[in-house]
Structure 1
Amino acid sequence: MIWKQNKTPLETAMYRTLLKSKIHRATATHCELHYEGSCAIDEDLLEAANMVENEQVHIWNINNGERFITYAIKGERGSGMISVNGSAARRASVGDLLIIAAFAQIPEDKVATHRPQLVFVDANNRQTELRDHVPTQPL
Protein backbone atom coordinates (compact mmCIF):
# COMPACT_ATOMS: atom_id res chain seq x y z
CA MET A 1 0.00 0.00 0.00
CA ILE A 2 1.22 3.52 -0.78
CA TRP A 3 0.47 6.22 1.79
CA LYS A 4 -0.01 9.98 1.51
CA GLN A 5 1.80 12.27 3.96
CA ASN A 6 -1.34 12.49 6.09
CA LYS A 7 -1.27 8.69 6.49
CA THR A 8 -4.27 7.93 4.28
CA PRO A 9 -3.85 5.21 1.66
CA LEU A 10 -3.59 6.16 -2.00
CA GLU A 11 -5.40 4.18 -4.63
CA THR A 12 -2.93 1.78 -6.17
CA ALA A 13 -3.21 0.44 -9.66
CA MET A 14 -2.31 -3.09 -10.69
CA TYR A 15 -0.13 -3.40 -13.78
CA ARG A 16 0.81 -6.48 -15.74
CA THR A 17 3.89 -6.88 -17.90
CA LEU A 18 2.67 -7.93 -21.36
CA LEU A 19 4.27 -8.42 -24.73
CA LYS A 20 4.20 -5.03 -26.47
CA SER A 21 5.84 -6.01 -29.72
CA LYS A 22 8.19 -8.47 -31.36
CA ILE A 23 10.15 -9.06 -34.52
CA HIS A 24 9.83 -12.78 -35.24
CA ARG A 25 12.62 -14.89 -36.76
CA ALA A 26 14.93 -12.04 -37.72
CA THR A 27 18.32 -13.07 -39.10
CA ALA A 28 21.43 -11.70 -37.36
CA THR A 29 23.38 -9.81 -40.02
CA HIS A 30 26.25 -8.61 -37.81
CA CYS A 31 27.79 -9.48 -34.44
CA GLU A 32 30.11 -6.69 -33.29
CA LEU A 33 31.87 -7.68 -30.05
CA HIS A 34 33.78 -4.41 -29.65
CA TYR A 35 30.85 -2.09 -30.29
CA GLU A 36 29.67 -0.43 -27.08
CA GLY A 37 26.54 -2.57 -26.74
CA SER A 38 22.96 -2.78 -27.92
CA CYS A 39 21.20 -4.29 -30.90
CA ALA A 40 21.02 -2.23 -34.09
CA ILE A 41 17.72 -2.85 -35.87
CA ASP A 42 16.73 -1.60 -39.32
CA GLU A 43 14.71 1.55 -38.66
CA ASP A 44 11.85 0.23 -40.83
CA LEU A 45 11.53 -2.78 -38.52
CA LEU A 46 11.75 -0.64 -35.38
CA GLU A 47 8.82 1.44 -36.62
CA ALA A 48 6.79 -1.58 -37.75
CA ALA A 49 7.26 -3.16 -34.31
CA ASN A 50 6.48 0.08 -32.45
CA MET A 51 9.93 -0.03 -30.82
CA VAL A 52 12.04 3.05 -30.16
CA GLU A 53 15.74 3.73 -29.85
CA ASN A 54 17.10 2.91 -26.37
CA GLU A 55 14.09 0.73 -25.52
CA GLN A 56 14.88 -2.44 -23.59
CA VAL A 57 14.58 -5.53 -25.77
CA HIS A 58 14.73 -9.22 -24.98
CA ILE A 59 16.46 -11.34 -27.61
CA TRP A 60 15.91 -15.07 -27.90
CA ASN A 61 18.27 -16.98 -30.17
CA ILE A 62 16.41 -19.80 -31.92
CA ASN A 63 19.65 -21.47 -33.04
CA ASN A 64 21.35 -21.90 -29.67
CA GLY A 65 18.69 -21.15 -27.04
CA GLU A 66 20.50 -18.10 -25.62
CA ARG A 67 18.30 -15.40 -24.10
CA PHE A 68 19.56 -11.94 -23.24
CA ILE A 69 18.43 -8.38 -22.63
CA THR A 70 19.89 -5.25 -24.22
CA TYR A 71 18.54 -2.07 -25.80
CA ALA A 72 17.62 -1.17 -29.37
CA ILE A 73 19.40 1.38 -31.53
CA LYS A 74 18.56 2.46 -35.06
CA GLY A 75 20.13 0.56 -37.92
CA GLU A 76 20.17 1.97 -41.43
CA ARG A 77 16.64 2.23 -42.83
CA GLY A 78 15.92 -0.42 -45.48
CA SER A 79 19.17 -2.29 -44.81
CA GLY A 80 17.69 -5.34 -43.08
CA MET A 81 20.33 -4.87 -40.38
CA ILE A 82 20.09 -6.83 -37.15
CA SER A 83 23.42 -6.32 -35.39
CA VAL A 84 24.01 -7.91 -31.98
CA ASN A 85 26.66 -5.77 -30.32
CA GLY A 86 28.96 -5.71 -27.32
CA SER A 87 29.16 -8.68 -24.99
CA ALA A 88 25.84 -9.99 -26.37
CA ALA A 89 27.70 -10.69 -29.62
CA ARG A 90 29.04 -13.80 -27.87
CA ARG A 91 25.46 -15.12 -27.70
CA ALA A 92 24.72 -14.96 -31.43
CA SER A 93 26.38 -15.59 -34.77
CA VAL A 94 25.72 -14.07 -38.17
CA GLY A 95 22.87 -16.07 -39.71
CA ASP A 96 21.22 -17.02 -36.40
CA LEU A 97 17.45 -16.65 -36.19
CA LEU A 98 16.35 -14.28 -33.43
CA ILE A 99 13.12 -13.21 -31.78
CA ILE A 100 13.36 -9.60 -30.57
CA ALA A 101 10.67 -8.62 -28.07
CA ALA A 102 9.68 -5.57 -26.04
CA PHE A 103 7.31 -5.53 -23.08
CA ALA A 104 5.13 -2.85 -21.48
CA GLN A 105 3.40 -2.29 -18.15
CA ILE A 106 -0.34 -2.37 -18.92
CA PRO A 107 -2.96 -1.28 -16.37
CA GLU A 108 -5.16 -4.15 -15.24
CA ASP A 109 -8.27 -2.56 -16.75
CA LYS A 110 -6.60 -2.43 -20.21
CA VAL A 111 -5.24 -5.99 -20.28
CA ALA A 112 -8.26 -7.53 -22.03
CA THR A 113 -8.04 -5.09 -24.94
CA HIS A 114 -4.24 -4.93 -25.29
CA ARG A 115 -2.92 -6.17 -28.63
CA PRO A 116 0.80 -6.66 -29.28
CA GLN A 117 2.44 -5.59 -32.55
CA LEU A 118 3.96 -8.71 -34.17
CA VAL A 119 6.28 -8.26 -37.15
CA PHE A 120 7.22 -11.28 -39.26
CA VAL A 121 10.19 -11.09 -41.60
CA ASP A 122 11.81 -13.09 -44.39
CA ALA A 123 15.43 -14.30 -44.55
CA ASN A 124 16.53 -10.77 -45.56
CA ASN A 125 14.71 -9.15 -42.63
CA ARG A 126 12.05 -7.63 -44.85
CA GLN A 127 8.60 -7.41 -43.29
CA THR A 128 6.24 -10.06 -44.67
CA GLU A 129 3.35 -9.89 -42.20
CA LEU A 130 2.00 -7.77 -39.37
CA ARG A 131 -0.32 -9.22 -36.69
CA ASP A 132 -1.87 -8.00 -33.47
CA HIS A 133 -2.29 -11.33 -31.70
CA VAL A 134 -0.52 -14.58 -30.92
CA PRO A 135 -2.64 -17.49 -32.17
CA THR A 136 -3.78 -20.18 -29.75
CA GLN A 137 -1.36 -23.09 -29.87
CA PRO A 138 -3.11 -26.32 -30.93
CA LEU A 139 -2.50 -29.67 -29.26
Structure 2
Amino acid sequence: MKRTLLNTKIHRATVTGAELNYIGSVAIDAQLMKEANILPFEKVEIVNINNGHRWETYALEAEPGSGAIEVRGGGARLAQVGDIVIIMTYVEIEEPIPAPWQPRLVMVNERNQISEILDLEGKAASFLFSLH
Protein backbone atom coordinates (compact mmCIF):
# COMPACT_ATOMS: atom_id res chain seq x y z
CA MET A 1 0.00 0.00 0.00
CA LYS A 2 1.21 3.50 -0.78
CA ARG A 3 1.09 6.35 1.72
CA THR A 4 1.28 10.05 0.91
CA LEU A 5 3.62 11.85 3.31
CA LEU A 6 4.75 15.43 3.75
CA ASN A 7 8.01 15.86 1.87
CA THR A 8 8.88 19.54 2.20
CA LYS A 9 7.40 22.67 3.68
CA ILE A 10 8.24 26.37 3.29
CA HIS A 11 6.75 27.73 6.50
CA ARG A 12 5.11 31.16 6.93
CA ALA A 13 6.26 32.76 3.69
CA THR A 14 4.90 36.20 2.81
CA VAL A 15 3.13 36.66 -0.54
CA THR A 16 5.03 39.30 -2.53
CA GLY A 17 2.89 39.34 -5.67
CA ALA A 18 -0.51 38.27 -7.00
CA GLU A 19 -1.25 38.31 -10.74
CA LEU A 20 -4.71 37.16 -11.76
CA ASN A 21 -4.21 37.36 -15.54
CA TYR A 22 -1.53 34.70 -15.77
CA ILE A 23 -1.80 31.09 -16.90
CA GLY A 24 -1.31 29.82 -13.34
CA SER A 25 1.34 28.70 -10.86
CA VAL A 26 3.30 30.15 -7.98
CA ALA A 27 6.72 31.72 -8.54
CA ILE A 28 9.06 30.94 -5.65
CA ASP A 29 12.54 32.33 -5.01
CA ALA A 30 14.81 29.75 -6.70
CA GLN A 31 17.04 29.60 -3.63
CA LEU A 32 14.04 28.67 -1.46
CA MET A 33 13.01 26.05 -3.99
CA LYS A 34 16.49 24.53 -3.95
CA GLU A 35 16.67 24.38 -0.15
CA ALA A 36 13.13 22.96 0.06
CA ASN A 37 13.90 20.44 -2.70
CA ILE A 38 11.05 21.71 -4.89
CA LEU A 39 11.52 21.29 -8.64
CA PRO A 40 10.21 23.62 -11.35
CA PHE A 41 6.72 22.47 -12.40
CA GLU A 42 6.37 20.29 -9.28
CA LYS A 43 2.89 20.17 -7.75
CA VAL A 44 2.64 22.19 -4.54
CA GLU A 45 -0.13 22.74 -2.03
CA ILE A 46 -0.51 26.25 -0.64
CA VAL A 47 -2.32 27.15 2.58
CA ASN A 48 -3.15 30.80 3.22
CA ILE A 49 -2.90 31.37 6.97
CA ASN A 50 -4.76 34.70 6.73
CA ASN A 51 -7.97 33.38 5.19
CA GLY A 52 -7.79 29.58 5.39
CA HIS A 53 -7.84 28.96 1.63
CA ARG A 54 -5.97 25.89 0.44
CA TRP A 55 -5.16 25.09 -3.20
CA GLU A 56 -2.84 23.15 -5.48
CA THR A 57 -0.75 24.52 -8.31
CA TYR A 58 2.78 24.08 -9.66
CA ALA A 59 6.01 25.85 -8.78
CA LEU A 60 8.08 28.06 -11.06
CA GLU A 61 11.46 29.57 -10.20
CA ALA A 62 11.71 33.27 -9.39
CA GLU A 63 14.98 35.21 -9.14
CA PRO A 64 17.34 33.56 -6.60
CA GLY A 65 17.62 35.56 -3.38
CA SER A 66 14.65 37.78 -4.32
CA GLY A 67 12.35 36.44 -1.60
CA ALA A 68 9.60 36.24 -4.23
CA ILE A 69 6.41 34.30 -3.51
CA GLU A 70 4.07 35.31 -6.34
CA VAL A 71 0.68 33.63 -6.71
CA ARG A 72 -0.66 33.63 -10.23
CA GLY A 73 -3.83 32.82 -12.11
CA GLY A 74 -6.76 31.64 -10.01
CA GLY A 75 -4.54 31.53 -6.92
CA ALA A 76 -4.45 35.34 -7.03
CA ARG A 77 -8.09 35.26 -5.89
CA LEU A 78 -7.04 33.22 -2.84
CA ALA A 79 -4.09 35.28 -1.60
CA GLN A 80 -3.09 38.94 -1.48
CA VAL A 81 0.29 40.62 -1.16
CA GLY A 82 1.28 40.44 2.50
CA ASP A 83 -0.64 37.23 3.29
CA ILE A 84 1.26 34.50 5.12
CA VAL A 85 1.30 31.10 3.39
CA ILE A 86 2.65 27.61 3.85
CA ILE A 87 3.90 25.84 0.71
CA MET A 88 4.11 22.05 0.85
CA THR A 89 5.02 19.09 -1.32
CA TYR A 90 4.18 15.46 -0.70
CA VAL A 91 5.66 12.15 -1.75
CA GLU A 92 4.04 8.75 -2.26
CA ILE A 93 5.94 5.95 -0.58
CA GLU A 94 5.26 2.24 -0.63
CA GLU A 95 4.90 0.67 2.81
CA PRO A 96 6.85 -0.14 4.86
CA ILE A 97 7.90 3.50 5.23
CA PRO A 98 11.68 3.92 5.48
CA ALA A 99 12.54 4.80 9.07
CA PRO A 100 12.99 7.44 10.10
CA TRP A 101 10.91 9.54 7.69
CA GLN A 102 12.12 13.15 7.77
CA PRO A 103 10.26 15.91 5.96
CA ARG A 104 12.26 19.10 5.38
CA LEU A 105 10.97 22.32 6.92
CA VAL A 106 12.34 25.60 5.57
CA MET A 107 11.57 28.43 7.98
CA VAL A 108 11.64 31.96 6.54
CA ASN A 109 11.56 35.46 7.99
CA GLU A 110 9.24 38.30 6.96
CA ARG A 111 11.39 38.94 3.84
CA ASN A 112 11.22 35.25 2.84
CA GLN A 113 14.88 34.77 3.61
CA ILE A 114 15.78 31.41 5.15
CA SER A 115 16.05 31.60 8.93
CA GLU A 116 16.34 27.87 9.65
CA ILE A 117 16.18 24.49 7.92
CA LEU A 118 14.97 21.49 9.88
CA ASP A 119 14.83 17.84 8.88
CA LEU A 120 12.03 16.58 11.09
CA GLU A 121 11.21 13.15 12.40
CA GLY A 122 8.61 11.61 14.67
CA LYS A 123 7.67 13.38 17.91
CA ALA A 124 10.10 16.24 17.22
CA ALA A 125 8.13 17.01 14.05
CA SER A 126 4.80 17.02 15.91
CA PHE A 127 6.19 19.37 18.54
CA LEU A 128 7.76 21.80 16.06
CA PHE A 129 4.69 21.94 13.82
CA SER A 130 2.57 22.80 16.86
CA LEU A 131 4.72 25.89 17.54
CA HIS A 132 3.47 27.85 14.53
Q: TM-score, length-normalised on structure 1? A: 0.86
1:112 to 96, 99, 110: 99
For 1:74, the equivalent position in structure 2 comes to 61
Give the 3-state SS of the residue equivalent to 1:135 in structure 2.
Answer: helix
Cα distance in 2 for partners of 1:53, 1:114 equals 24
Alignment of 1:1-139 (within 5 A): 14-133=1-120, 134-136=125-127, 137=130
- Identical aligned residues as a percent: 48
Cα distance in 2 for partners of 1:131, 1:107 equals 24
Cα distance in 2 for partners of 1:58, 1:107 equals 21
Note the C-alpha offset of 1:111: 4.3
Q: Which has the higher Rg, Structure 1 or Structure 2?
A: 1
Give the 3-state SS of the residue equivalent to 2:126 in structure 1.
Answer: coil
Cα distance in 2 for partners of 1:87, 1:42 equals 20
Residues 22 and 99, structure 1, Cα contact 8 Å, conserved in 2: yes
Cα distance in 1 for partners of 2:31, 2:98 equals 27
Note the C-alpha offset of 1:110: 2.7
Q: Which runs of 5+ in 2 are unaligned?
A: none
Equivalent residue pairs, number = 125
Note the C-alpha offset of 1:103: 0.2
Residues 26 and 121, structure 1, Cα contact 8 Å, conserved in 2: yes
Give the 3-state SS of the residue equivalent to 1:102 in structure 2.
Answer: strand
Cα distance in 2 for partners of 1:111, 1:18 equals 12
Note the C-alpha offset of 1:75: 0.6
